[in-house]
Amino acid sequence: MSVDGELIWPDAAEWTGKIHSEGWRTAEGGTLRVFEPAGGEQLAEVGLAGAADVERAGARAARAAPGWAATTVSDRVDVLMRADRALRERSGAVREWIVRETGGVPAKGDYEITAGLAQLRNAVGLASQPPGEVLVPQVPGGTSLAWRVPLGVVGVITPWNAPLLFAMRALAPALVLGNTALLKPDPLTPVSGGVLVARLFAEAGLPEGVLHVLPGDAATGRAVAADPHVAMISFTGSTEAGREVARIAGEGLKRVSLELGGKNSIVVLEDADVEAAAVAGAMSSFGYQGQACVAAGRHVVHADVVDAYTEALVRHAKAMPVGDPRDEGVALGPVISERQAARIARIVDLSVDAGARVLTGGIRKGLFYPPTVLDRVERSMPAFREEIFGPVAPVIPFRHENEAVEIANDTAYGLAAAVHSRSVPRATALAQRLRTGMIHINDVSAKNAANAPFGGMGISGNTSRIGGTASLEAFTQWRWMTAPGPS
């Protein structure tokens, strides 16, 4: 919580200028200042992990790994359950950190907390899954067993847009399955994505050495990916950065799980409930300023209803106030950085120069970018081709279902999509033709569930999935053992 605007949990005296690696330690890499997007004031100062910090943390996590893996499943489950309780008890302070550090409105903070709790609970259930198989032996009376064992040290590199959620999404299953971890949160959100995570697990009684939190920049991420003690990298972020992480990790033949960007379509058929589709479209493109990999980057709408849909989408966009996320009634806060604001403006401005039309929005004020609807969008325009990662909804009409499928699939990405129709069988049939890892019928494109395999096709990932039982495969490896029968 805060007093007169000052955030008082966790106690800054404990962690200011430090990293978490068997306690709070001064970082070899120096310090990193954290600023509030809405007002620009400094919120915190954390340690900046350098190469020596990563090397030391990797070695200590490797030493802790056998002991942690040897603990009982019930002991590891108890830690996650206590982390769940700690997050619930600290939810007010956690929400405020998320709002002030990410620029999201309070509802966004509540969503991250709820989703983070779901990840912890799902991981608790994951621990009770059968650990292996009894195989048919190759010799009479023999034994042949195969079971899953921890990987060892897992490196988790998370982005700024949902820092708490994405940390929990990887750490909860990795830890409960017996791995130790190095967590590298984004330099824009090292508190809600790192410091808070370290404090919550410390309050849960996680043994020292099991989790190391190493805030840092791209150089820190490269060091984590390259560290010889790290067996696996779980990375969430841009496709460009994911490629670099994969190259570095590939040199060490590490397992890599990549959850990357998307250019996601909402397809609206002529028999859809247009108002409901527009509500879903507005939520998908404008929620958290459009800064989500699963945000809708294309609204592919049948020509018979495109005018009605666009009118409704514009109406919803105009009804979403933009401002300081702590102010009552604000729907959209600032985007995360000047770099991101400039990127959004560039994509919109270049598309308008090429003939697109702004129906609402389109003019930024500092880091505040209003909900924006574009029509007359052609396939050659940046608004069609690029992942915008901002509150922009390009509308593209179509006449026939084959054309809708072609438009939606005209991208190297393949993360998520939504299809709207009053006929669920019809929508489902069309959805099956879309090249995406996740499909939602009569709903938003931006969905997440702890028990679902989350991930995409194409350059949205490397065919890996995280969530539900997919996490069992992601964070363990098989061991096979045989024994002869009686002689």
Say what the pLDDT of residue 82 is. Answer: 98
> What is the share, in percent, of the chain residues with pLDDT greater than 90?
96
C-alpha–C-alpha distance, residues 105 and 180, integer Å: 33
Answer yes or no: do 211 and 301 share one domain. no
> Residue 140 maps to which CATH number?
3.40.605.10
The angle at the Cα of 69, spanning 68 to 73, to the nearest 5 degrees, equals: 95
Does any domain span residue 484? no
Range of the domain at 424: 264-450
pLDDT of residue 178 exceeding 60: yes
C-alpha–C-alpha distance, residues 86 and 483, integer Å: 45
Quick one: average pLDDT of 316-329? 97
Say what the pLDDT of residue 309 is. Answer: 98
Quick one: average pLDDT of 467-477? 95
Answer yes or no: do 116 and 247 share one domain. yes
Does any domain span residue 40? yes
3-state DSSP assignment of residue 406:
helix
pLDDT of residue 476 exceeding 90: yes
Average pLDDT in the chain: 96
List Cα–Cα distances, 166 to 82, 184, 231, 297, 398, in angstroms: 19, 11, 19, 21, 36
List Cα–Cα distances, 395 to 184, 273, 288, 308, in angstroms: 37, 17, 20, 12
Strand ranges (DSSP E) for 199-336? 211-213, 230-236, 255-259, 264-268, 296-302
pLDDT of residue 149 exceeding 60: yes
Q: Which two tokens stand for residue 347?
A: 């994509």
Query: Which has the closest alpha carbon to 394: 269, 312, 300, 262?
Result: 300
3-state DSSP assignment of residue 62:
helix
- Residue indicated by tokens 């924006």: 372
Query: Which has the closest alpha carbon to 389: 171, 162, 228, 198?
Result: 162
> Residue 283 maps to which CATH number?
3.40.309.10
Longest dimension (CA), the chain: 83
Which band of pLDDT confidence, cut at 50, 70 and 90, is reported for residue 5? low
Does any domain span residue 455? no
Answer yes or no: do 334 and 432 share one domain. yes
Q: How many domains does the chain have?
A: 2
pLDDT of residue 296 exceeding 80: yes
Given 293, 311, 338, 403, the catalytic residue:
293
Answer yes or no: do 105 and 213 share one domain. yes
C-alpha–C-alpha distance, residues 104 and 353, integer Å: 30
> What is the share, in percent, of the chain residues with pLDDT greater than 70?
99
| DSSP secondary structure letters along 427-452 | HHHHHTTS--SEEEESS-S----TTS
Does any domain span residue 457? no
Answer yes or no: do 165 and 61 share one domain. yes
Asked if 171 and 200 touch (Cβ cutoff 8 Å), the reply is no
Q: Which two tokens stand for residue 292?
A: 């989500």
Answer yes or no: do 154 and 287 share one domain. no
Say what the pLDDT of residue 486 is. Answer: 84
Say what the pLDDT of residue 357 is. Answer: 98
Given 244, 259, 270, 401, the catalytic residue:
259
Answer yes or no: do 154 and 68 share one domain. yes
Which band of pLDDT confidence, cut at 50, 70 and 90, is reported for residue 86? very high
pLDDT of residue 295 exceeding 70: yes
Does any domain span residue 485? no
pLDDT of residue 2 exceeding 70: no
User: What pLDDT, in 10s, does the model give residues 242-290?
Assistant: 999 999 999 999 999 999 999 999 999 999 999 999 999 999 999 999 9
Does any domain span residue 486? no
pLDDT of residue 39 exceeding 70: yes
Does any domain span residue 176? yes
Say what the pLDDT of residue 336 is. Answer: 97
pLDDT of residue 1 exceeding 60: no
Does any domain span residue 29? yes
Answer yes or no: do 299 and 428 share one domain. yes
Which band of pLDDT confidence, cut at 50, 70 and 90, is reported for residue 155? very high
Catalytic residue check, 293: yes
C-alpha–C-alpha distance, residues 283 and 473, integer Å: 32
Answer yes or no: do 294 and 193 share one domain. no
Answer yes or no: do 70 and 207 share one domain. yes
Say what the pLDDT of residue 7 is. Answer: 80
Say what the pLDDT of residue 8 is. Answer: 82
pLDDT of residue 6 exceeding 90: no
Quick one: average pLDDT of 372-400? 98
Which band of pLDDT confidence, cut at 50, 70 and 90, is reported for residue 390? very high
Range 116-120, long-range pairs (CB < 8 A, 24+ positions)? 116/87, 116/164, 116/165, 116/167, 116/168, 116/169, 117/84, 117/87, 117/88, 118/449, 118/450, 119/165, 119/168, 119/169, 119/172, 119/173, 119/450, 120/80, 120/81, 120/83, 120/84, 120/87, 120/168, 120/172
Which residues are paired to 418 by β-bridges? 266, 440
Residue type, 324: D
Answer yes or no: do 110 and 129 share one domain. yes
User: What pLDDT, in 10s, does the model give residues 185-240?
Assistant: 999 999 999 999 999 999 999 999 999 999 999 999 999 999 999 999 999 999 99
Catalytic residue check, 311: no
Answer yes or no: do 256 and 334 share one domain. no
